[in-house]
Amino acid sequence: MSYTARRIAQPDTLRLRGLDFQLYRWPGEDPDPIVLLHGWGDSAETWQFVVDELSPRRTLIAFDARGFGRTQWPDDGYWFPDYLADLEAILNIVAPGRPIDLVGHSMGGNVAMIYAGVRPDRIRRLINLEGVGLTPTSADQAPARYRQWLDEVADGSRFATYDTFEQFESVLARRNPRTSPDHIAFIARSWARTRDDGRIELRSDPRHKRINPVLYQRDQAEACWNAIAAPTLLVMGAKSEFAERLKPQIAEEKIGALLRHVRLATIEEAGHMMHHERPAAVAELIETFFR
């Protein structure tokens, strides 16, 4: 049985930067919104678990990033700075001329961190759920990286399809053993849809699977992080393999040197998808930090 939402989202479609963006609002008494950014492969709808654990006075806004969920796919592929411009366009509508509280998970956390450093006047407080960049790269990786990208463009990109939603749920449950069955069922129906031929396919653009031909420049990302003025809470999952891989880059002394106003927190019994697995714990951190 799928999860039943306690607070009902108000969906809206915004035409921005040549694409139709799917946006969700959970209105509350507080006029200043908390904006929620989802991660790679995820969708705005799955913030519902956290939303339901937050105070009903909170106004919450989430949107599907380009090529994810119900937001339109661009014609020409994906470039990380577009996520920054998309966020700014949405903030100019939902919170024009004033700073906001921002929460980002994974890819959304990376977007949030870069944006907060580039536009420090727009972010009042920031919570980052395991959006701490990628491992450093070196220039000698470039030839192989471009070669792989060209091969992937030539081969085309595709996601697996499924006979039924139940089959997709089984796959998600194996990959996410700490996520409850009702949450898995909700996620499956947020992430996927039924094709005309009856098969189940992901809503996300399969071109997201292509490797980025441009090497990740961690020094540039860290320069942006160093410019963040907002108080920042960095949250890691105690069971996260992602956090384990990046341990040298997220050591407390290193993060403390990069971010002027940072606190660190760990959620026990949570992996990378902590907002699916331990939404009440995530909500408690949000309530406390944004008090």
Q: Residue 197 carries which DSSP code?
A: T
In a domain, residue 1? The reply is no
Same domain, yes or no: 148 and 226: no
Residue 180, domain extent: 160-203
Look up the CATH number of the domain holding residue 260: 3.40.50.1820
Burial of 266 (0-12, 13-18, 19+ CB in 10 A): middle
In a domain, residue 115? The reply is yes
Kindly state the tokens that stand for 211. Answer: 């490797």
Same domain, yes or no: 145 and 119: no
Same domain, yes or no: 128 and 171: no
Give the CA distances from residue 41 to residues 37, 60, 127, 163, 225, in Å, rounded to whole numbers and listed in that order.
12, 21, 20, 20, 24
In a domain, residue 2? The reply is no
Same domain, yes or no: 209 and 195: no
Q: Could you read off the pLDDT of 189-242 as tens digits, one per residue?
A: 999 999 999 999 999 999 999 999 999 999 999 999 999 999 999 999 999 988
Same domain, yes or no: 119 and 191: no
Buried b / exposed e over 51-86, threshold 16 CB at 10 Å, is bbbbeeebbbbbbbbbbbbbbbbbeeebeeebbbeb
Contacts of 214 (CB under 8 A, 6+ apart): none
Same domain, yes or no: 70 and 41: yes
User: pLDDT 10s per residue in the chain (291 long)?
Assistant: 889 999 999 999 999 999 999 999 999 999 899 999 999 999 999 999 999 999 999 999 999 999 999 999 999 889 999 999 999 999 999 999 999 999 999 999 999 999 999 999 999 999 999 999 888 899 999 999 999 999 999 998 899 999 999 999 999 999 999 999 999 999 999 999 999 999 999 999 999 999 999 999 999 999 999 999 999 999 999 999 888 887 777 777 778 788 889 999 999 999 999 999 999 999 999 999 999
Same domain, yes or no: 149 and 277: no
* Cα 212 from Cα 6, distance rounded (Å): 39
* Cα 134 from Cα 212, distance rounded (Å): 12
The per-residue pLDDT for 184 is 98
Number of domains composing the chain: 3
Average confidence score pLDDT of the chain: 95
Same domain, yes or no: 192 and 75: no
